[in-house]
Amino acid sequence: MSYILSLTTFLPILGVLLLFFIPKESKSVLRGFTFAVTLVTFLASLLILFGFQTNAEFQFVENVPWIAAGPFVMRYNIGVDGISLWLVILTTFIMPLSVLSTWKAVEDKVKEYMICLLILETSLIGAFISIDMFLFYIYWELMLIPMYFMIGIWGGKNRLYATMKFFIYTMVGSLLMLVAFIYLYMLGSQAGIPDFSVLHFYNLRIDPTIQVWMFMAFALAFAIKVPMFPLHTWLPDAHTEAPTAGSVILAAIMLKMGTYGYVRFAMPLFPEAAHRFAPLLATLAVIGIIYAALVAMVQEDVKKLVAYSSVAHLGFVMLGLFAFNVQGMTGSMLQMLNHGISTGALFLIVGFIYERRHTRLISDFGGLAKQMPVFATIFMIVTLSSIGVPGTNGFVGEFLILIGGYESELRWWAVVATSGVIFAAVYMLWMFQRVMFGELNNPKNQKLLDLDAREIAIMLPLVVLIFVMGVYPNPFIEKMDPAIQKLVAHIRPASMNAKILPAALQSLPVGHPAMPGHSGMEESTAPSAASGQLPAGHPGIPAEGQSSEPVVNPHESK
């Protein structure tokens, strides 16, 4: 079954073709058929999961010549490895749920909506599995179009502003990335690399100054998608205006595209630049965590609140990525899955109450727990997962990120990020209390009916996953561990020569100059630090005067 990967990718397109034959009026048939297609795609992706041996190599690789235009040779080169496996499964897992959630939500133009959904699924899966950078770029752009229509046509009041902003924001970023791609290709072709496959470019030595510019281009494109701190304002608008299924997919999968981009392209291709930019991007990530949490606290609109919460969660993921160690990376990969599940569930929940009350203002709700007890328990479980209470999936990811971050140079960033844990509890619980607890005085709330079978069927797999990943995350971690070990081994040595930091950065509490080695991964155990003394620049009690070991400035020692 070596074509399983292409099959999974293009199954939705097959669905689209068949959809054309179904008449526009028979809505339920349309919905049923689309649900069936997404379900079959999910089963196909399960085949990939079970067929996947846990090693660091790309599997189910398909490498077929595709375009040869002048100097450019592009091959249809796809494959899945530890990192992208779970993201593909997350995509195919979330799609049936979002299709199921639009049963009553979308009444007009159902056929076009379903077509958008299926095209979106194809482009998402394609982006995750493509090894050829050009193919990745095509899928990267392709996914914008269906989302643009979904928000633009079936959105809320000022949907045009939101969808325009979303589209242009992402487009600007990705154009820069395209330029970087082409320049990279040129560099590659000089060095004899035949095609666009990213694997060839991994071991291409690019001198640091060019790396800095290329990394900036990639980083900007993915930072917009993540969304990182200053470039995040499109997310709340896009979410408030998007239909339920649209915002579920946007939050659960499309945001992961940004972080996946960092892991697959930005960091391994330009390791030195990644190390040099680590403090800056970590600062933005940490600001993102605190800033989004604070802003989420005072939101009146539930969906905007959840949107800001996902900015905060992804800030954690970015912090984990820039820790450059196995715990940090595993933590962020896990957190991507957790965020997909918990925020996807949150948006589904907001969708349910929106379908009932057609309002998203927190002040319109109150005391729903008495009126809708089943809904209350599910909402409570998902809130706890989003806060990261131990026993749910959120905690495992966050803990690994923070402990990974604490261990790397980003020690002080991890300390500040840990306080994000408090704010997460504050805004989620405050929202939960204003929506669910308190008096049931609003007459319209008194007539709300609890979740029906369909809605429970949507939420059940998510709740089960929340607990399974919280209590027993090992199967998830095992599958991605070899790929992450390989990635970290690829990036870490680059940090040696990235150590020639300009004097300005020297003042940062950089850990002991000789990188503290990890017995687990590198054989060469780093020389143990000064026996009892404080390692230089230690965060603890500010070393009164210079500690016994002055921070060796690489410049002088050279």
Q: Which of residues 445-484 bind other proteins (CB under 8 A)?
A: 471-474, 477, 481
Whole-number Å distance between alpha carbons of 496 and 514: 9
CA distances from 42 to 96, 121, 200, 340, 501 (A): 8, 11, 31, 16, 47
Q: 501-540: which residues touch other proteins (CB under 8 A)?
A: 511-512, 516, 518-521, 525, 528-529, 532, 534-535, 538-540
# residues contacting other proteins (CB under 8 A) = 74
Burial of 76 (0-12, 13-18, 19+ CB in 10 A): middle
Whole-number Å distance between alpha carbons of 70 and 219: 29
What's the half-sphere exposure (Cβ side, CA atoms, 13 Å) at 528?
A: 3
Please report how close the Cβ of residue 72 comes to other proteins at its closest, in angstroms.
Answer: 32
> Quick one: DSSP state of residue 364?
G
Q: 47-106: which residues touch other proteins (CB under 8 A)?
A: none
- Polymer length in residues for the chain: 558
Of the residues 291, 352, 379, 413, which one makes contact with other proteins according to CB under 8 A? 291
In the complex with other proteins, which residue's Cβ is closer, 65 or 391?
Answer: 391
What's the half-sphere exposure (Cβ side, CA atoms, 13 Å) at 70?
A: 2
Please report how close the Cβ of residue 532 comes to other proteins at its closest, in angstroms.
Answer: 5
Q: 149-188: which residues touch other proteins (CB under 8 A)?
A: 165, 169
In the complex with other proteins, which residue's Cβ is closer, 96 or 315?
Answer: 315
Q: 309-328: which residues touch other proteins (CB under 8 A)?
A: 325-327
Q: How many CB atoms lie within 10 A of CB 64?
A: 9
In the complex with other proteins, which residue's Cβ is closer, 65 or 539?
Answer: 539
Of the residues 27, 104, 109, 370, which one makes contact with other proteins according to CB under 8 A? 370
Please report how close the Cβ of residue 210 comes to other proteins at its closest, in angstroms.
Answer: 29
Q: 20-49: which residues touch other proteins (CB under 8 A)?
A: none
* Best CA proximity match to 49, nearest among 18, 106, 5: 5
Please report how close the Cβ of residue 446 comes to other proteins at its closest, in angstroms.
Answer: 13
Please report how close the Cβ of residue 403 comes to other proteins at its closest, in angstroms.
Answer: 6
Of the residues 46, 297, 362, 551, which one makes contact with other proteins according to CB under 8 A? 297
Please report how close the Cβ of residue 396 comes to other proteins at its closest, in angstroms.
Answer: 6
Q: 214-233: which residues touch other proteins (CB under 8 A)?
A: 230, 232-233
Nearest 5 degrees, angle CA 505-CA 510-CA 513? 110
Please report how close the Cβ of residue 254 comes to other proteins at its closest, in angstroms.
Answer: 19
Whole-number Å distance between alpha carbons of 192 and 186: 10
Q: 243-262: which residues touch other proteins (CB under 8 A)?
A: none
Region binding other proteins by CB under 8 A among candidate stretches 29-37, 62-70, 111-119, 290-298: 290-298
Binding mask 395-434 for other proteins (x = CB under 8 A): xx--xx-xxx-xx---x--xx--xx-xx--xx--xx--x-
Task: State yes or no: residue 362 binds other proteins (CB under 8 A).
Answer: no
Contact predicate 537/552, CB 8 Å: no
Cis peptide before 227 (omega within 30 of 0): yes
In the complex with other proteins, which residue's Cβ is closer, 299 or 343?
Answer: 299
Q: 325-344: which residues touch other proteins (CB under 8 A)?
A: 325-327, 330-331
Please report how close the Cβ of residue 152 comes to other proteins at its closest, in angstroms.
Answer: 17
Region binding other proteins by CB under 8 A among candidate stretches 94-102, 123-131, 274-282, 366-374: 366-374
Of the residues 176, 182, 210, 294, which one makes contact with other proteins according to CB under 8 A? 294
Q: How many CB atoms lie within 10 A of CB 497?
A: 12
Whole-number Å distance between alpha carbons of 332 and 334: 5
Whole-number Å distance between alpha carbons of 397 and 403: 10
Of the residues 56, 145, 199, 389, which one makes contact with other proteins according to CB under 8 A? 389
CA distances from 110 to 102, 163, 405 (A): 9, 19, 46
Calculate the dihedral angle through the C-alpha atoms of 476, 480, 482, 486, rounding to the nearest 10 degrees.
Answer: -150
Residue burial 380-391, b: 16+ Cβ < 10 Å; e: rest: ebbbbbbbbeee
| Longest pairwise C-alpha distance within the chain | 80
Q: What are the backbone angles phi and psi of residue 59, rounded to the nearest 5°?
A: -120, 170
Contact predicate 386/394, CB 8 Å: yes
Please report how close the Cβ of residue 220 comes to other proteins at its closest, in angstroms.
Answer: 15
Task: State yes or no: residue 298 binds other proteins (CB under 8 A).
Answer: yes
Q: Which two tokens stand for residue 226?
A: 């993540």
In the complex with other proteins, which residue's Cβ is closer, 419 or 553?
Answer: 419
Please report how close the Cβ of residue 411 comes to other proteins at its closest, in angstroms.
Answer: 8
Of the residues 369, 459, 465, 498, which one makes contact with other proteins according to CB under 8 A? 369
Contact predicate 303/360, CB 8 Å: yes
